[in-house]
Amino acid sequence: MSEVLVLNGPNLGRLGTREPEIYGHATFADLESLCVHTGSELGLTVEVRQTDDEAELIHWLHEAADRGVAVVLNPAAFTHYSYAVRDACAALTAPLIEVHISNPAAREEFRHTSVISAVARGTITGFGLQSYVLALRALV
């Protein structure tokens, strides 16, 4: 495995200005360069994408399945209710790591459920942008 797709769901493009007390001050561009840089240290080609659109996210997961590419996924709010994203994750053909910047278990009740976790190889939450670094390391 040398290629990884790092996929991000809704509102994560707003990192830096979105609820900085929860998600920090780093921007989505910072996240992208952190992932690409970490990947190059680990010998991985990393591509980082973000969408607010459930259908687009599902199409990217289909693409990952067809190409046999590993995925690091922050499904954002889709985590908690999207059976369609879960079904697309279940059909992946290479490992999936679920990541979260915050720790959803320590937040509102509706965030305590992840419909994705059961189809992920593992889940990393609560370490800020480092959650992504840990996920890339876990894949290797």
Catalytic residues: 23, 100
Distance CA 85, CA 107 (A): 22
Could you list the residues that contact ligand DQA (CB under 6 A)?
A: 11, 74, 76-77, 79, 100-102, 104, 111
First to last CA, the chain: 8
Closer residue to ligand DQA, CB minimum distance, 1 or 105: 105
| Nearest-approach distance from CB 110 to ligand DQA, in angstroms | 8
| Nearest-approach distance from CB 46 to ligand DQA, in angstroms | 18
H helical segments located in 68-122: 83-90
Closer residue to ligand DQA, CB minimum distance, 1 or 7: 7
| Nearest-approach distance from CB 2 to ligand DQA, in angstroms | 26
Closer residue to ligand DQA, CB minimum distance, 26 or 40: 26
Distance CA 35, CA 110 (A): 28
Query: Residue 9 has which token pair?
Result: 């769901």
Query: Residue 28 has which token pair?
Result: 């989505």
